[in-house]
Amino acid sequence: MRRHVILFLALAALAGCGEPPAKPADAHGASAEAFERGPHRGRMLRSGDFAVEVTIFEEGVPPEFHVYAYRDGKPVSPRDVTLAVELTRLGGGVDRFSFTPQGDYLRGAGVVREPHSFDVKVRATDRGRAHQWAYASYEGRTTITAQAARAGGVKTETAGPVVMAELADMAGRIEITPEGQGKVRAWYPGRIVALNAELGQRVHKGQVLARVESSHSLQTYSIPAPLSGVVIEKGSNVGDVAGEAPLFVIADPDRLHAEFFVYPRDAERVRAGQKVEVRTLSGDTRVTAPVEAIVPTTDIASQTLMAHVHLPPGASATFRPGMGVEGSFQVAAAPVALAVRTKALQRFRDFTVVFAKVGDTYEVRMLELGRRTPEWTEVLGGLEPGTEYVTDGAFLIRADVEKSGASHDH
């Protein structure tokens, strides 16, 4: 229940005041006052008159362990000490480090990979005496009950291979399809004796819209609506003589397509049937629809072709005729070995991360990224295939991590 409250308090705080600053933390993610610091600002581990100071050094080099030894508070030559460190990570993975003397410290063999979040075991031998220590050193980690996670809208997926689309972005506009428009004309010339619709009125197919007295037969005939829709133009009044000009123009606002301007650089890559993400200029509304047709005629002035993308039913709730839109055409696709949902990406320190989930525990994974689309982002490093990660609600996980102070500072 407590975590449940933390989630929603964190969301409220971030929404109202911006992101809260992380609490001061040590090189290993613990509170700045949680342990004794040594002369090099590392963690002091004591055993009788012997002590070691554990630091992670990363100035100009990948992160590596530097450990300083002391006896009776005075520095000890690193050549007089043997040392080993074992790191157990979330999920059970273990990293082991051996050490060699380097100047006045013992240098760990290998990179301390991110995140610096693990359970630590340190073993040292000094003058034939064995010493060992164990402590937790977490960053970017928090535990949230399953009930609280569900209440906060947290959802997860498993990272793995996907087929990523290559996208080409284009500008366009919304128009009513040709099949969604109808012009109501008199069948024979004559005087208009009745008009039964007004501008903006919704009419139904077959509904009588006008009555005209034929100039040839002097008989009055009725003119029905050719389709259901809305009257968008009214071109005559009662008493006028009907000729070739439309009496009404009717349009079905639910029958829409997007017309995109295809420039020469993309003309050979755009094909009928390709998927297109059509979005409003604000980006608030997005629909995916296929390319219906490509008009083969090139505009003389702009040298563009016109690609028509049919919009699904219900799109008229947001998309209106004449509205400017943007579209991402899926012009090609290629498999990638590992990818995550783009919406899952978050910022943590100077990294782009996702939050891995193990049981009820969540922890950052710092990512090396490749190609990106609105849906998927390729992962080149920092995440193991098969990892369960947060896709929805990651912002709440990050807020809880920052609230707990599980951050990192060298």
- Give pLDDT tens digits along the chain (410 positions): 444 434 433 433 333 333 333 333 343 344 445 789 999 999 999 999 999 999 999 999 999 999 999 999 999 999 999 999 999 999 999 999 999 999 999 999 999 999 999 999 999 999 999 999 999 999 999 999 999 999 999 999 999 999 998 888 999 999 999 999 999 999 999 999 999 999 999 999 999 999 999 999 999 999 999 999 999 999 999 999 998 899 999 999 999 999 999 988 888 889 999 999 999 999 889 999 999 999 888 887 888 899 999 999 888 889 999 999 999 998 888 899 999 999 999 999 889 999 999 999 999 999 999 998 888 999 999 999 999 999 999 988 998 888 866 555 44
Query: Do residues 283 and 223 both lie within one domain?
Result: no
Query: Do residues 54 and 125 both lie within one domain?
Result: yes
Query: Do residues 225 and 247 both lie within one domain?
Result: yes
Residue 4 domain flag: no
DSSP for 170-189, please give it. Answer: EEEEEEE-GGGEEEE--SS-
Residue 123 domain flag: yes
What confidence score (pLDDT) does residue 402 get?
85
Query: Do residues 122 and 76 both lie within one domain?
Result: yes
The whole-angstrom separation of Cα 230 and Cα 280 is 23
What confidence score (pLDDT) does residue 299 get?
80
In eight-state DSSP terms, residue 151 is: H
Counting Cβ atoms within 10 Å, is residue 196 exposed (0-12), middle (13-18) or buried (19+)?
middle
Whole-angstrom CA distances from 176 to 138, 199, 274, 284, 365 are: 57, 17, 20, 21, 47
End of a domain among 225, 251, 277?
Answer: 251
Query: Do residues 98 and 154 both lie within one domain?
Result: no
Q: What residues contact 240, with CB distance under 8 A and at least 6 apart?
A: 191, 192
Residue 328 domain flag: yes
Residue 410 domain flag: no
Quote the tokens at residue 196.
């039964």
Q: If you search the block for the tokens 């979330």, which residue do you land on?
A: 90
End of a domain among 332, 359, 383?
Answer: 332
The whole-angstrom separation of Cα 309 and Cα 278 is 9
Pairing of strands 351-358, 361-366: antiparallel
Q: Is residue 242 within 8 Å of residue 216, measured between CB atoms? A: no
Q: How many domains does the chain have?
A: 4
Query: Do residues 267 and 352 both lie within one domain?
Result: no
What confidence score (pLDDT) does residue 408 get?
54
DSSP for 107-135, please give it. Answer: EESS--PSS--EEEEEEEEETTEEEEEEE
Residue 3 domain flag: no
Counting Cβ atoms within 10 Å, is residue 352 exposed (0-12), middle (13-18) or buried (19+)?
middle
Residue 8 domain flag: no
Query: Do residues 228 and 128 both lie within one domain?
Result: no
325-369: pLDDT as tens digits: 999 998 888 899 999 999 999 999 889 999 999 999 999 999 999
Query: Do residues 97 and 187 both lie within one domain?
Result: no
Quote the tokens at residue 34.
């949680």
Query: Do residues 219 and 343 both lie within one domain?
Result: no
What CATH number does residue 182 fall under?
2.40.50.100
What confidence score (pLDDT) does residue 26 get?
40
What confidence score (pLDDT) does residue 29 get?
42
DSSP for 5-72, please give it. Answer: HHHHHHHHHHHHH-PPPPPPB-TTSSBTTSS-B-TTS-EEEEETTEEEEEEEE-SSSS-EEEEEEEET
Query: Do residues 103 and 71 both lie within one domain?
Result: yes
The whole-angstrom separation of Cα 39 and Cα 294 is 71
* Residue 266: other Cβ atoms inside 10 A: 18
Quote the tokens at residue 254.
């639910």
The partner residues of 242 in beta bridges, in order of sequence, read 190
Query: Do residues 99 and 182 both lie within one domain?
Result: no
Pairing of strands 286-295, 305-310: antiparallel
End of a domain among 211, 233, 251?
Answer: 251
Residue 90 domain flag: yes
Query: Do residues 172 and 312 both lie within one domain?
Result: yes
What CATH number does residue 349 fall under?
2.40.420.20
What CATH number does residue 123 fall under?
2.60.40.3340
What confidence score (pLDDT) does residue 7 get?
42
Q: Residue 238: which domain range? A: 178-251
Residue 293 domain flag: yes
Please, what's the b/e burial string for 133-143 (b: 16 or more CB within 10 A of its CB; e: otherwise)?
bebebbbbbbe
